A and B are shown apart, each in its own frame.
Chain A
Amino acid sequence: MADKEVDQQLVERVQRGDKHAFDLLVSKYQRKLGRLISRFVRDPAEAEDVTQDAFIKAYRALPSFRGESAFYTWLYRIGINTAKNYLLANKRRAPSTTIFDTEDAESFEEASLLREVSTPENELMSKQVVDVVQASLQQLPEDLRSALTLREIEGLSYEEIASVMNCPIGTVRSRIFRAREAVAENLRPLLETSKGNRW
């Protein structure tokens, strides 16, 4: 089952009334979408709000998603439109004004409640997460590190990795899992100490 088909299954579950399935899609695409949106919206806190908005818009639009394109392609289009509309709305709004229309006020209120401005603590946390992952990767045995790198960075399929590493597909599957789990083992203590920061 290809990656695209996993997304399609999750989408169909959401379309059948399973809200939790949407969580899995958010977990999967939140950083990719956030990175895309940050190219339009430079301020990290605003970009985060726009990313959330994009997910909510995507959820609302899911009944019309028919799987003609890949889910992430469709989601990215929504993300770009949301970011552009956000910028457009900001340009129209006078910088010093304190008057918002109803829609703006609602979104402003929601955003204020949920926004976690990019604090030094959060930035430090991000840096620590990156450091732990990269250090863990370097500590992995060569075969595990290569398998994970070929999968995550080069985007190769298990079959392609098996061909490159000259080993069975089952071995590739096992190596990638062991590599992920080894990195995850090092990350868990760090993330558990920062539950309040929603890592």
Chain B
Amino acid sequence: MKQEISALMDGELFEDDAEGFLKRIERDSDAHKDWELYHLIGDVLRQPDHIHGDLSAKVRERMRDEPTIFVRRGHAGNQKMLTFALSAAASLSAIGVVAWMSMQIGSEALPSLAMQQNSVRPVKAQIQRYNSDYLMAHQEFSPSTDMNGGASYIRTVSYRSDEK
């Protein structure tokens, strides 16, 4: 037991063991004395110029009038969990906002692209040879332009090769 007290006060005991030994030290007056004595030895070694009588008995006496504390169980632990949960929620919200914004940008861009695709259609322009010969031959009768040629008669048309 004493060796465990020694290790416990140095923070060198496993957590599961520590809890049990803390309970035993509280209940066992001899163990409690050893805990006090070992701490006294440490204090004397570290600060020999400032050693005074044990205050714990006096504090204990004054503590009799103090109410017992009851903090909601796991309050301290929950605080850490709450902090972690809030951080995680903030991160997820940020990711969500970024994702939503990128979706908005994407959905706005798509229709305009679609419209562009609809409005710009490649057209194969070909001047039919038989028309061309005729127009070229009568270009001087063109009414709409001063150009002496067949440019104003040219129309851009397309046709499928299987059509006759």
Give the B-binding residues of A (Cβ under 8 A).
Answer: 1-6, 8-24, 26-28, 30-32, 34-35, 38, 44, 48, 51-52, 55-56, 59-60, 62-63, 65-68, 110, 114, 116, 118, 122, 125-126, 129-130, 133-134, 137, 148-149, 151-153, 157-158, 173-174, 176-177, 180-181, 183-184, 187-188, 191, 197-199
Contacts and interface: CB of A to CB of B under 8 A. Distances in A.
Interface stretch (B7-15, B94-102, B131-139): B7-15
A20 B28 CA distance: 11
Contacts of A191: 37
A189 B94 CA distance: 67
Nearest to B13: A1
B55 A63 contact: no
Contact of B69 (A15, A23, A27, A51): A15
A21 B27 CA distance: 10
B43 A197 contact: no
Given A67-B80, A152-B46, 19 more contacts: A5-B15, A16-B73, A17-B69, A17-B70, A23-B32, A24-B22, A26-B56, A35-B47, A51-B55, A52-B59, A62-B71, A63-B69, A66-B79, A126-B51, A129-B40, A173-B3, A183-B41, A187-B37, A198-B54
Nearest to B56: A26
A31 B50 contact: yes
Chain A interface mostly helix, strand, loop or mixed? Answer: helix
Contacts of B50: 31, 34-35, 38
A129 B44 contact: yes
